[in-house]
Structure 1
Amino acid sequence: MNFTDLRILKTQERLQNALLELLDTKELKEITVKEICEKAGISRNAFYQHYGYKEDLYDQMVARATEGIRDSLMPIIQDASAVREETIVSYAEHIVEGISEVRELIYVMLKGDDGKFLRQLTDLIFGQNLTNALSFFDMKDSEELRLYYEFQSAGMAAFIIKWILDEGLSEEKAAKLLAGILLQSPGKKPVIV
């Protein structure tokens, strides 16, 4: 990475952090580019070199959170026959650790959510879990399988939201609770790993 790339990344990080702080007290529609720039200590010109609108900055932040969530849902083992109770526990820890990396961002997005982010989160979890089941466990796609994963994904989304909004729940406890839920999956093999 060269010096220019590092400067670009640092500028974008400062702008994202500034918007994140502002979103803690205001809705996006109430925030101005000027406020973001003042909070970040960056000129408006620099802002517009990176983003056309404040919504572009917000969308980049949502994409970062989405990528973090998707990465956390990826299988941690390569062979379905290796799935054991301890791998499910490790998978739950993997999910919680991955989401922890973008927890503050998700928290702010949830605070001002009109339901759109919740739907995106549920759809993301559904898509990744279904993909995992079809490829990892070599399951056949069916309406029943999709309904099951819709149900499971809504539950996982609710769990993630409850954990993020309940600041008293530690990562360790969240991972244990999630592992317990995943271990209760019906059938001979777990539905996600």
Structure 2
Amino acid sequence: MNKHDLRVIKTKKNIHNVLLDLLKKKSLSQISITELCNLAEISRGTFYFHYQEIGDILDEIFEKTMQDLELWYSDPFKNGFNINQKNLAPGMIKIFNHVKRNEAFYRIILSSDIFIKYYYLLYENIMKLHRDFGSGQFEQNKYTLSYSANGIIGLILEWHKEDFNSTEEEMNNRLYEILKFNDL
């Protein structure tokens, strides 16, 4: 299988979209492969060619979304930005732009039915981003990294609880004010 084959890309995108639509209505455990295949208009053979079970699809969507998160998160650091600098501005913070762009995904993984597994995966990804792009401000201290990662997730959770009613800019400003207050 060539992952760059346009047919594979279109098939997987279709399967991803169908699963995300189904997850808006029911839990992962309530979705059958038959139902997913019927709605995606694919055969079971096609499904099993790409996946072993439905959870594999959500894992793949998660991985793709985390790659996108890394692009948004790392954007300010591309030009040598250091979070310790006093020139931090809300417009430099991009993480909430990513969340808003992937709002349907975050609505699903932050639901109580799916939450805990993906909470820990999201936590690990944000910790990794802090280590990789944090310019040493966390001094690789696992407790400081944990505090920071959970703070970001906490902001995303509150935004989710308010049904993503705030804009990305408002969320960026909230994080900016927290960072400024803590003098990071």
Category of TM-score, reference length = shorter chain:
0.7 to 0.9
Over 3 Å counting, the alpha-carbon distance change for 1:171 and 1:106 in structure 2 is: same
CA deviation digits over 1:111-144, x for unaligned, max 9? 12352222222222222213333xx247744xxx
Pair 1:138–1:147, CA change in 2 (3 A):
closer
Distance 1:82 1:47, change over 3 A: same
Letter paired with 1:162:
E
Structure 2 unaligned spans of 5+:
none
Task: Determine the structure 2 residue equivalent to 1:44.
Answer: 44
1:159 aligns to what? Answer: 155
TM-score w.r.t. structure 2 length? 0.82
Secondary structure of 1:42's partner?
A: coil
Query: What is the rounded CA distance, in whole Å, between the counterparts of 1:75 and 1:84 in structure 2?
Result: 18
Identity %: 22
Gap runs ≥5 in structure 1: none
Paired residues of 1:37 and 1:43 also in contact (CA < 8 A)? yes
Equivalenced residues, count: 178
Partner AA of 1:157 in structure 2: I
For 1:115, the aligned partner's letter is: I
Question: What's the CA shift string for 1:149-179, capped at 9, x where partnerless?
Answer: 2112111111012213422222222222122
RMSD, matched Cα: 2.5
Residue in 1 that maps onto 2:18: 18
| Residues 126 and 149, structure 1, Cα contact 8 Å, conserved in 2 | yes
Which of 167, 175, 178 is the equivalent residue of 1:181?
Answer: 178
Q: Which amino acid in structure 1 is aligned with residue 124 of structure 2? A: D
Match of residue 125 from structure 2: 124
- Deviation at residue 82 of structure 1 after TM alignment: 9.3
Aligned to 1:78: 80
Query: What is the rounded CA distance, in whole Å, between the counterparts of 2:104 and 2:69 in structure 1?
Result: 13
Q: Give the conservation status (yes or no) of the 8 Å contact 2:14–2:40.
A: yes
- The 8 Å contact of residues 73 and 129 in structure 1, kept in 2 or not, is answered as no
Check whether the contact 2:18–2:36 (CA below 8 A) recurs between aligned residues: yes
Give, in whole Å, the separation in 2 of the partners of 1:55 and 1:68.
Answer: 20
CA shift in 2, pair 1:65/1:81, >3 Å = closer
**How much has 1:78 moved relative to structure 2?**
1.4
Match of 1:62 in 2: 62
What is residue 33 of structure 2 aligned with on the other side?
33
- Look up the match of 2:116: 115
- Aligned residues of 1:73 and 1:125 also touching (Cα < 8 A): no
* 1:81 Cα deviation from its structure 2 partner: 9.0
Residue identity in the other structure for 2:152:
M
1:148 to 144, 166, 169: 144
